[in-house]
């Protein structure tokens, strides 16, 4: 009977113990499918349902709780310190070939052959080659298939007990699959995927918090945390690559077969590995992985070659603390220290101003880098970066190079020495350890860079909204950096609806200098268009027709099309309804704008800034001069509407009116329709199956009416 059948059978009328066991097995299987194989069989909601069922069972019958229960992944408490653990089999390191050419692979093969006493014409040695993951080494001890201890490498002899932190990592099985031996220690690497790392830093940046230097430091820092809940929030991953102590298991003959066996036990093993003959295979693997390095979802700092036969490994043995049968072959470092020569401002498609570091050119992650992002002013300040400093640059994967830290002045001599010895890693690590604040009390930070007040591209005012970390150009349509985006926004279906004006065409028009502003669109002629790449005369004519048709529009569409920050479709409608005429909106004070339904201080300020700038007013005037027009209305006399100033809430299904119709009618009568009931609600309109909103209204003593009463109130019946 499969686990699923077992569960299905038991769920009819199961004994709690049986049901809990079946749920555990099922949940562990789904966790393996999800985290290790990346091939879930059930939706997340189904997993959650099973999980909650098991949780409820365990709560009702605490005696059913087992250490391999998936409910126990984040069950640990905050510790005072980490306990020391002695490794039964020491955790060794490997010798490193630091040259990044194929010479390293050949040197290793030659050494192995010499130490095995092989003649020059003896057949090639078989090797296993795999990735050198850039994380931290850990050991997982399974007894009778259950994870009983997880530890860091420490000095190789003694590490720290981090079991409860490792349990939070979904990829680490709490229980091995199949026939597990009495004792199996698995060695491997905990790491953080680049996308998980970027997401974490993005969150930190948005919250104005300190960002992390690289995935490796982040993973290493997390694993040594005392609070497992913090570890769970970091999203770590794991790959197995070797063994520690083993009892009661007949080892396979080769390293490759051993990894296959670990995989069969449910442990994650990287698929990026080969078994091959001689130096040739190693060189090919080194090159193959080098070409793919940027595409991997995680950082590696090299590849590892191992003699495949475990018998030969035993024969070769160890030299001091390193096996003679393995070597690490590096790739160019993904982090380097260099000088920050200057800071320039780049304006993005959305108007965001990004400080860009101008660097003393440096070879990092396989290419020479002379520009790197500093993200935003606040991050630059938090890092205490100054022009002239030694900074750490990181370039990994397809992420744009970034300045991730500053080398504290106390470490600068180390950086200089490293530049001579090539030991950049030591500096980056030391800087990460020290952190930018390490020297704060002694050396006050005096920035030597300022954000410009005017956009360097178009001269428009630079603004930063409250609570926002980013500075922005307020130029919108007049800013060359934002032109393409602005035109596409203006042309989209929900705005001016100019069919045929898509990505590729806009690229050509803007790059060719044919269109510099929105009004330029209406100056396009057949000859200019037909001369463009891949533009047939027929499509040119169609586009001109679409442009002509777009001239007759509505005020909300036009307003939305201008691409004013925070002015979406519905705000544009509210504005049009409230003011009736564009000139009134353009001339409104922030106070007057705030009177509009749903317009708050952020929107009011954005609108005001936009229309306060002469070039924006000029663009609007030119568009109107080109023939863009709409029907203007009278401003709504909101105060005189019957329900002005009243807030309504709709709940349940009304007999004849849809939710949208009811809302529209209420709004037309001047009422505001809110989504939830509060003390400020004047009236609740309740229909069939009204829920918690109705209860809340009753609780607060707010009047409740039905559809008939509503229609009467609106004078419709």
Catalytically active residues are 132
Give the integer Cα–Cα distance in Å for 73 and 27.
12
Closest residue to ligand IVH, Cβ-based? 137
Backbone Cα Rg of the chain: 33
CA angle 629, 529, 564 (to 5 degrees): 40
> How many CA within 13 A on the CB side of residue 103?
5
* CB 153 to ligand IVH: min, Å: 6
Residue 188 or 563: the one with the smaller Cβ distance to ligand IVH is 188
Residue 189 or 335: the one with the smaller Cβ distance to ligand IVH is 189
- Residue from 142, 197, 241, 298 binding ligand IVH (CB under 6 A): 241
β-pairing, 647-651 vs 683-686, is parallel
CB atoms within 10 A of CB 462: 20
* CB 169 to ligand IVH: min, Å: 15
* CB 157 to ligand IVH: min, Å: 14
Residue of 631, 634, 632, 657 lying closest to 713 (CA atoms):
657
- Provide the b/e sequence for 166-175 (b: ≥16 CB within 10 Å): bbbbbbbbbb
Q: Which residues pair with 552 in a beta bridge?
A: 629
- Backbone dihedral region of 32: left (phi > 0), alpha (psi from -120 to 50 degrees) or beta? alpha
CB 162 within 8 A of CB 152: yes
* CB 348 to ligand IVH: min, Å: 37
CB 347 within 8 A of CB 481: yes
* CB 677 to ligand IVH: min, Å: 57
Phi and psi at residue 354, to the nearest 5°? -115, 125
- Residue from 304, 486, 564, 603 binding ligand IVH (CB under 6 A): 304
What are the strands of the beta sheet with 326-330, ordered from one edge?
95-97, 326-330, 300-307, 126-133, 274-277
Q: What are the CA-CA distances from residue 120 to residues 113, 117, 127, 317 (Å)?
A: 8, 9, 17, 22
Identify the DSSP state of 476.
G
620 burial via Cβ count (<10 Å: 0-12, 13-18, 19+): buried
Give the integer Cα–Cα distance in Å for 213 and 197.
10
Residues 164-193 that bind ligand IVH (CB under 6 A): 189
* CB 140 to ligand IVH: min, Å: 13
* CB 298 to ligand IVH: min, Å: 11
Residues 79-108 that bind ligand IVH (CB under 6 A): 92-94
Q: Angle, to 10 degrees, between the axis of helix 601-612 and the axis of helix 614-625?
A: 70
Is position 528 an interface residue for ligand IVH (rule: CB under 6 A)? no
Residue 260 or 598: the one with the smaller Cβ distance to ligand IVH is 260
- Provide the b/e sequence for 302-324 (b: ≥16 CB within 10 Å): bbbbbbbbbebbeebeeeeeebb
CB atoms within 10 A of CB 545: 12
Give the integer Cα–Cα distance in Å for 595 and 464.
23
**How many residues touch ligand IVH (CB under 6 A)?**
14
Is position 326 an interface residue for ligand IVH (rule: CB under 6 A)? yes
Residues 119-138 that bind ligand IVH (CB under 6 A): 130-133, 137
Binding flags for ligand IVH, 357-386, as an x/- string (CB under 6 A): ------------------------------
* CB 228 to ligand IVH: min, Å: 22
- Residue from 70, 159, 242, 561 binding ligand IVH (CB under 6 A): 242
Using DSSP's 3-state secondary structure scheme, residue 38 falls into coil
Q: Tokens representing 456? A: 């360097």
Residues that bind ligand IVH (CB under 6 A): 92-94, 130-133, 137, 189, 241-242, 304, 323, 326
């Amino acid at each position: 009977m499969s686990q699923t059948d077992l569960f299905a059978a038991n769920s009819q009328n199961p004994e709690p113990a049986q049901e809990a066991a079946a749920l555990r097995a099922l949940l562990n299987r789904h966790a393996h499918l999800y985290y290790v194989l990346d091939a879930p069989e059930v939706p997340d909601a189904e997993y959650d349902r099973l999980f909650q069922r098991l949780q409820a069972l365990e709560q009702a019958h605490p005696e059913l709780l087992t250490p391999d229960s998936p409910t126990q992944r984040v069950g640990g408490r905050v510790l005072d310190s980490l306990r020391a653990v002695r490794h039964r089999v020491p955790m060794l390191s490997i010798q490193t070939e630091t040259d990044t050419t194929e010479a390293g692979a050949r040197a290793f093969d030659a050494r192995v052959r010499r130490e095995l006493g092989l003649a020059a014409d003896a057949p090639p040695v078989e090797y296993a080659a795999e990735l050198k993951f850039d994380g931290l080494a850990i050991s997982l001890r399974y007894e009778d298939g259950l994870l009983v201890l997880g530890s860091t490498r420490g000095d190789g002899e003694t590490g720290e007990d981090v079991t409860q932190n490792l349990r939070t990592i979904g990829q680490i099985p709490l229980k091995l699959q199949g026939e597990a031996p009495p004792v199996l220690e698995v060695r491997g690497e905990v790491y953080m995927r680049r996308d998980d790392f970027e997401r974490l830093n993005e969150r930190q940046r948005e919250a104005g918090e300190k960002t992390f230097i690289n995935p490796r430091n982040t993973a290493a820092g997390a694993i040594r945390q005392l609070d497992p809940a913090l570890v769970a929030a970091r999203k770590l991953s794991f790959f197995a690559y070797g063994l520690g102590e083993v009892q009661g298991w007949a080892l396979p003959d080769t390293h490759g077969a051993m990894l296959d066996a670990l995989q069969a036990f449910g442990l994650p093993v990287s698929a990026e590995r080969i078994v091959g003959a001689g130096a040739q295979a190693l060189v090919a693997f080194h090159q193959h992985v080098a070409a793919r390095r940027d595409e991997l979802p995680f950082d590696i700092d090299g590849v590892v070659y191992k003699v495949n036969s475990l018998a030969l490994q035993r024969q070769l043995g160890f030299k001091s603390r390193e096996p003679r049968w393995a070597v690490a072959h590096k790739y160019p470092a993904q982090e380097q220290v260099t000088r920050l020569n200057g800071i320039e401002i780049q304006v993005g498609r959305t108007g965001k101003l990004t400080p860009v570091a101008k660097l003393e050119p440096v070879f990092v992650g396989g290419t020479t880098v002379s520009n790197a992002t500093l993200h935003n002013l606040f991050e630059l300040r938090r890092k205490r970066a100054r022009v002239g400093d030694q900074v750490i640059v990181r370039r990994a994967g397809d992420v744009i190079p970034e300045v991730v830290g500053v080398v504290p002045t106390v470490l600068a001599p180390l950086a200089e020495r490293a530049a001579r010895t090539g030991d950049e890693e030591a500096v980056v690590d030391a800087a990460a350890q020290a952190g930018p604040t390490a020297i704060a009390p002694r050396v006050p930070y005096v920035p030597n860079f300022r954000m410009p007040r005017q956009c360097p591209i178009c001269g428009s005012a630079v603004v930063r909204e409250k609570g926002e970390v980013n500075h922005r150009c307020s130029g919108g349509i007049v800013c060359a950096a934002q032109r393409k985006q602005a035109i596409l926004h203006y042309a989209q279906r929900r705005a001016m609806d100019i069919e045929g004006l898509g990505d590729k065409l806009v690229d050509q028009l803007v790059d060719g200098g044919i269109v510099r502003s929105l009004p330029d669109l209406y100056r396009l002629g057949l000859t200019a268009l037909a001369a463009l790449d891949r533009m047939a005369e027929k499509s040119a004519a169609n586009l001109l027709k679409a442009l002509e048709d777009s001239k007759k529009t509505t005020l909300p569409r036009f307003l939305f099309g201008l691409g004013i920050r925070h002015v979406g479709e519905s705000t544009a409608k509210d504005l049009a309804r409230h003011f009736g005429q564009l000139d009134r909106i353009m001339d409104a004070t922030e106070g007057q704008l705030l009177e509009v339904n749903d317009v708050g201080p952020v929107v009011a300020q954005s609108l005001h800034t936009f229309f306060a700038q002469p070039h924006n007013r000029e663009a609007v005037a030119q568009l109107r001069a080109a023939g863009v027009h709409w029907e203007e209305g009278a401003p709504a006399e909101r105060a005189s509407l019957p329900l002005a100033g009243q807030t309504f809430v709709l709940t349940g299904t009304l007999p004849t009116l849809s939710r949208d119709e009811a809302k529209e009618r209420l709004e037309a009568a001047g009422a505001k329709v809110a989504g939830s009931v509060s003390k400020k609600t004047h009236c609740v309109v309740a229909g069939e199956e009204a829920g918690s909103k109705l209860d809340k209204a009753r609780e607060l003593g707010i009047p409740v009416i039905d559809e008939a009463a509503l229609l009467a109130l609106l004078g419709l019946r």
